[in-house]
């Protein structure tokens, strides 16, 4: 029987790669990485820890960058973990001019109880910033 062990990367379909890359760098502290593939396609990735978030333009030809059945921006819910206290996350988002959609609120994640703060990225994706342990 096959079993998987982890996510390697997630591909996010976005309306504007530059706006999304700037947001993920400024708000979530990710590092931008641009690479050109063997077929000449430039791809933008945002890295954090051992994880990667690829930013795929919604208008890109699916032959150039294979994707899901519908390349739609703003339909994802992503949860990112942070060591920051929820109140610090709220203050950081406010300092970045990012509206809080909800939180801090108690939630259940893959490893148990956590406290989450929610906001939206430039495409309207729901972004959850969570911390395990006491609020």
As annotated, the active-site residues are 128
117 phi and psi angles, rounded to 5 deg:
-125, 135
Q: Are 81 and 132 in contact (CB under 8 A)?
A: yes
For residues 93 and 110, give the distance between their C-alpha atoms in angstroms, rounded to a whole number: 24
Grouping H, G, I as helix, E, B as strand and the rest as coil, residue 94 is: helix
């Amino acid at each position: 029987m096959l079993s998987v062990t982890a996510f390697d990367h997630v591909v996010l379909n976005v309306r504007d790669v530059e706006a999304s890359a700037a947001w993920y760098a400024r708000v979530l502290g990710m590092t931008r990485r641009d690479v050109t593939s063997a077929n000449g396609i430039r791809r933008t990735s945002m890295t954090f820890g051992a994880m990667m978030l690829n930013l795929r333009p919604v208008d890109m030809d699916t032959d150039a960058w294979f994707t899901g059945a519908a390349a739609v921006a703003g339909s994802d819910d992503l949860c990112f973990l942070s060591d920051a206290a929820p109140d610090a996350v709220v203050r950081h988002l406010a300092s970045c001019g990012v509206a809080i959609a909800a939180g801090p609120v108690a939630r259940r994640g893959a490893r148990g109880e956590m406290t989450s703060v929610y906001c939206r990225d430039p495409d309207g994706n729901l972004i959850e910033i969570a911390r395990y342990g006491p609020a």
